Amino acid sequence: MVDLATRYLGLDLRSPIVASASPLNGKPESAKLVEDAGAGAIVLPSLFEEEIVHQEVQLTRALEKGDGAFAEALGYFPEIDTYADVGDSYLDRLETIKMRSEVPVIASLNATAPGKWATYARWLADAGADAVELNLYRLAADPSVPGSAVEDVDIETVAAVREAIDLPLAVKLSPYYSATANFAARIVAAGADGLVLFNHFYQPDLDLETLDVSPRLELSRQWELRLPLRWIAILRPQLGKAVSLAATSGITEGTDVVKALMVGSDVAMMTSAVLRNGPEHIRKVERELRSWLEEHEYESVTQLRGSATSATSSDPSAFERNNYVATLHSWASERV
Ligand SMILES: Cc1cc2nc3c(=O)[nH]c(=O)nc-3n(C[C@H](O)[C@H](O)[C@H](O)COP(=O)(O)O)c2cc1C
């Protein structure tokens, strides 16, 4: 029997197939189905700062409505400061999912205000998360702010959260940083135990009738795995074995998990394929992974991990350039 066990963020996982942040994982009933289908760990959808602010506004409104005569009482509740006040929400669901799960439960966070990341991360720790994943996404659209300043804010955020909690900490990155290798090293130096590469973003479409933007969520496709594969192959030797790496985007079949592990990932994360096919898809991918490993005479995931890293990493920039030229030429030589 092939050994699928792996370690991620210092946690022992029974399988390298992890259910990445998705609405399915945010509800206790469906999170249980995901776990029962074999996920090695479950990442909850992100707690967004906007949701907490919305709750604060609702609370203030309720107080105003219920007790107008004592408006000064509102001063006692300027904002929600403790995790207990957030009530019937993300943190309750996190507690329930954690109570019912035998696999590690990773909470995810996306805040905006600099001081809030650390506060909310503490709430997640108090609610019982086994680890925290920071979803560092925002759009750098201010022309007066250079890339280095955007990166500095992210580094400060990671350092502040590191300071605030003792839990394992992962940082989920967008692929849009200009110097990914340098930034990844700085994130690790700021205290991250692992990186999740890469988050997937959803560009809104334009509605031609209303001339308005319309949100449009497209699930990702298998070919999108190539970008995380490329970067994990580059980063694994640079960051060393102590740093955890998770591949996310496009993982669809067992062979995708094989590729992710080969370039040095500790886990392969799945959302779109699970949303398309249901939680049972995780079991199918695990079966495919097992058969591939057996056919190729690997005894464990550990034996496979990183076996293809060196093929592309001795001089990544030169490799990338050669590969770029060769890829463009391959189209012309086949078709023109
Ligand atoms: C419906 C949906 C909701 C998602 N919600 C979150 C989220 O709350 N936080 C987050 O970091 N990523 C979120 N993601 C991104 C996924 O966790 C994952 O990184 C991305 O979809 C790429 O992986 P995939 O190709 O397996 O889907 C979401 C994705 C989808 C499709």
Going from the Cα of 329 to the center of ligand 1, the distance in angstroms, rounded, reads: 34
Distance of alpha carbon 245 from alpha carbon 187, whole angstroms: 13
The conformation of residue 253, written as its DSSP 8-state character, comes to S
Taking CA atoms only, the protein residue closest to ligand 1 atom 29 is 22
Going from the Cα of 331 to the center of ligand 1, the distance in angstroms, rounded, reads: 32
The token pair at 144 is 């007066």
What residue type is 316 in one-letter code? P
What residue type is 334 in one-letter code? E
Taking CA atoms only, the protein residue closest to ligand 1 atom 28 is 22
Taking CA atoms only, the protein residue closest to ligand 1 atom 11 is 135
Query: Which helix or strand (DSSP H or E) is residue 29 part of?
Result: helix 28-36
Exposure letters 83-120 (e unless 16+ CB within 10 A, then b): bebbeeebbebbbbbbeebebbbbbbbbbeeeebbbbb
The token pair at 284 is 């199918």
- Indicate the SS3 state at residue 84: helix
Write out the chain's pLDDT in tens, 336 residues.
899 999 999 999 999 999 999 999 999 999 999 999 999 999 999 998 877 766 665 656 555 655 444 444 444 444 555 555 554 589 999 999 999 999 999 999 998 877 889 999 999 999 999 999 999 988 889 999 999 999 999 999 999 999 999 999 999 999 999 999 999 999 999 999 999 999 988 778 888 998 888 877 889 999 999 999 999 999 999 999 999 999 999 999 999 999 999 999 999 999 999 999 999 999 999 999 999 999 999 999 999 998 886 555 567 777 777 777 887 788 777 777
Distance of alpha carbon 42 from alpha carbon 29, whole angstroms: 13
- Contact assessment for residue 67 and residue 73, using Cβ atoms and an 8 Å cutoff: yes
- Contact assessment for residue 199 and residue 180, using Cβ atoms and an 8 Å cutoff: no
Determine if the pTM surpasses 0.75: yes
Query: Which helix or strand (DSSP H or E) is residue 260 part of?
Result: helix 254-262
Q: If 0-12 CB within 10 Å is exposed, 13-18 middle and 19+ buried, where does residue 209 land?
A: exposed
Going from the Cα of 133 to the center of ligand 1, the distance in angstroms, rounded, reads: 12
Sign of the CA dihedral with 27 first, then 30, 35, and 36 last: positive
Going from the Cα of 270 to the center of ligand 1, the distance in angstroms, rounded, reads: 8
In this structure, the residues whose C-beta lies within 6 A of any atom of ligand 1 are 20-23, 45-46, 108, 135, 172, 199-200, 217, 219-220, 248-251, 270-273, 275
pLDDT for res 78:
45
Q: Which of 17, 22, 133, 267 to mutate to test the pocket of ligand 1 (most atoms within 8 A of CB)?
A: 22
Taking CA atoms only, the protein residue closest to ligand 1 atom 24 is 249
Taking CA atoms only, the protein residue closest to ligand 1 atom 19 is 199
pLDDT for res 76:
44
Other Cβ atoms closer than 10 A to 287: 12
Which string of DSSP letters, residue by residue, matches 177-196? -TTHHHHHHHHHHTT-SEEE
- Cα–Cα distances in angstroms (integers) from residue 206 to residues 92, 201, 209, 219, in the given order: 37, 16, 9, 18
